[in-house]
Chain A
Amino acid sequence: MSEKSMVEAIRDAMDEELARDENVFIVGEDVGQRGGVFRATVGLFEKFGADRVIDSPLAELSIVGVGIGAALYGMKPICEIQFADFIFPAFNQIISEAAKMTYRSNATWTVPMVIRAPYGGGIGGGLYHSQSVEAFFAHVPGLKVVIPSSPYDAKGLLKSAVRDPNPVIFLEPKKGYRLIKGEVPDEEYVVPIGPARVSRFGEDLTIFAYGMMHYYALQAAEQLEQEGYSAEVIDLRTLYPVDRNTILESVKKTGKALIVHEDNLTGGYGGEISAIIAEHGFNDLDAPIRRLAGPDVPAVPFSHPMQEWFMVNPEKIFKSALELARY
């Protein structure tokens, strides 16, 4: 085992997959000599060459569209969108093309590719370097949507995503790139796409989260412990297709559900988790389902006090969870 940061684990995953399969290549803005603006591809250009780590023109739709074309040919592209906020020019290629290719061709064509994008706020990035985009994609059959919250999962899930025969949207909580550190095995492993993970066992309520909010949820759970409440924490990890059983089993045990994300509340991913619980776990509930999410303003403001007003943090999760526990 070695201690790694999120971004190191992500880089290691790509390093290993590039070495394992000659069809794997990376394409994106500044991924070559620069090694990525977040340094996620640092050293890979030198190691694997300009044919495997390709600096794209500054145009996101063709990063994805060219990746789709290469995938159709049998390659395994890892497309990097520099910030999730810049993924929207590629929306058409992702929704109309990547997501629908298998279905619309009756599986005569498939698109094995990964689209990596750092997402999330709290880093002084303002409106266009802070957004959470998961809800747009977790609505779309044909895509898989994965968000890791630890270095271990980041590496294992990214390796699974590269090997997956479908388009995988891999969203990385950028605030956690260096902040979140953890033990990562030195030997080969993967983490399967699909199952959620019970990251903390508890009895009184369940906190559902992913990415940076999962990291914060664990901190809030520690604080709740001191108040005498035992919180179960579930890291959803794969948003689409979602692990319904793990969600429902936990609610059955605790009877209370708090769903946390930093994306806007309305139409956010939490609504889906809430609906799953309400439809299939209603009889297990001892309190109304709660959602704690970013406010319904267009995006995260730049100025620090305004940013902090927007962002969900451990304290806000703790307060909301405490209210729910006392319900």
Chain B
Amino acid sequence: MELSSELKKEMYWMMLLSRRLDERAWVLHRQGKIAFHISGIGHEAAQVGAAFALKRGHDWVTPYYRDLALMVSLGLTPEEFMLSLMGKAGEPSSGSRQMPSHFGLRRVNAVSHSAPVATQAVHAAGIGLAIKIKKEKKVVLTTIGEGSTSQGEWYEAVNWAAVHQLPVIFLVQNNQYAISVPPEMQMAVKSAADKACGLGLPGQMIDGTDVFAVYKIIAELADAARNGKGPALVEAKMYRITPHSSDDDDRTYRSREEVEENKKFDPLLLTQKRLMDEGIYTEKDLEGLDKKAKQMVTDAVKLAEDAPYPTAQEAAYPVYAEEVPNV
């Protein structure tokens, strides 16, 4: 499968825009303008590659909190992300009831998720079951960090999908840290993909910094799943360049040297180099795109800053799908 230059440009743009959004969130936090940010810097290649492999609005996604680039690729706008950071009205995932980066976007079949990890994997199995019962040609992508594959919920979800041959792709983003804890304290296998052999589905480990490779692999698996070939488990490896969240201090558990060394494998830089090597973009083109992305982020910040907060009374609703009278 040869990727067109246009497709590569689109994927790069989503990586770039997500990165600039993420970086701005850190700045806003340091400025005291937002209370919290959870970062996906370093994850962009895996997330954008996976998102582009889906038929957006047709296939389904149960994401997790590090999936900014995935969500932006699916259609979350910069303004919507900024609304969530600031807890403003009109935020689409929760009406700003949830903390930022607790994603969910109905219009692209991206399901709301919570903070207890791995709960979303089980929902993906259920969505896959519904797709199978209805005999539809769709796939569910569910994402998760490597640490959360320690949860029983995750094993039960993968087991269900394997037993019932459900159209689910389990994408594990192994960024080497679950807050502070490294993978060797989470699992005795070398890769979460190795867990597949105990559960009866194909598993593979891929380079999570190569956006085009991720796209190709997930696209193939998605196509197979849509056509009744069952689930797959993929571990994409990358490095979490930032601390876990704005409340974390990663100096307490990893050296600056280690972080600097890993910045060489920053997927955004690798993709930029690739596009220049392939003659798709010049340095000047990239500078222009960067300027455009930063301007979009600035505009989004402005819109969000000017947006109103929800009224306090909105906190009372909606508890139920319909009004429940206190009879």
Contact = CB atoms under 8 A, between A and B. Distances in A.
Interface of A: 25, 51-52, 54, 56-57, 59, 61-62, 65-75, 77, 89, 92-93, 96-97, 100-110, 112, 141-142, 144, 165-166, 194-195, 241, 243-246
B104 interface: yes
Contacts of A108: 92-93, 104, 106, 112
Interface stretch (B186-194, B290-298, B316-324): B316-324
Contacts of B153: 61-62, 65, 92-93
Residue from the set A61, A66, A75, A100 with the largest chain B CB neighbour count within 10 Å: A66
Given A62-B159, A66-B129, A144-B320, 9 more contacts: A61-B153, A66-B123, A70-B127, A73-B130, A92-B116, A102-B319, A104-B114, A142-B319, A142-B320
Contacts of B129: 54, 66, 69-70
Contacts of B111: 69, 72, 109
Contacts of A241: 324, 326-327
B87 to A, nearest CB: 13
Contacts of A73: 60, 126-127, 130-131
Contact of A67 (B97, B126, B152, B319): B126
Given A62-B156, A62-B160, A74-B130, A68 B123 contact: yes
Contacts of A75: 130, 133
A92 B156 CA distance: 14
A77 B98 CA distance: 26
Contacts of A106: 93-95, 97, 318
22 contacts: A25-B133, A61-B156, A65-B119, A65-B156, A66-B125, A66-B157, A67-B126, A68-B126, A69-B62, A69-B125, A69-B127, A72-B111, A72-B127, A89-B152, A93-B153, A102-B318, A104-B97, A108-B112, A109-B106, A166-B321, A166-B322, A194-B324
B214 interface: no
B171 interface: no
Contacts of B128: 69
A54 to B, nearest CB: 8
A245 B327 contact: yes
Interface residues of B, number: 44
Interface in B86-132: 92-95, 97-98, 102, 104, 106, 111-112, 114, 116, 119, 122-131
Contacts of A97: 114, 119, 123
B269 interface: no
A93 B125 CA distance: 13
B237 to A, nearest CB: 27
Contacts of A195: 327
Contacts of A243: 327
B11 to A, nearest CB: 27
Contact of B125 (A65, A244, A245): A65
A253 B129 CA distance: 52
A273 B34 CA distance: 43
Contacts of A144: 320
Given A96-B119, A106-B97, A112-B321, A69 B124 contact: yes
Contacts of B98: 104
Closest 7 pairs (CB-CB, A-B) = A69-B126, A65-B122, A106-B95, A165-B321, A69-B123, A73-B130, A62-B156
A103 B92 contact: no
A156 B221 CA distance: 45
A68 B121 CA distance: 11
Contacts of A62: 122, 125, 153, 156-157, 159-160
A89 B156 CA distance: 11
B170 to A, nearest CB: 13
Nearest to A27: B129
Contacts of A109: 104, 106, 111-112
Contacts of B104: 104-105, 108-109
Contacts of A246: 327
Given A61-B152, A105-B93, A106-B97, A66 B326 contact: no
B163 interface: yes
B96 to A, nearest CB: 9
A98 B173 CA distance: 26
Contacts of A25: 133
A66 B320 contact: no
Contact of A69 (B130, B319, B320, B327): B130
Nearest to A73: B130
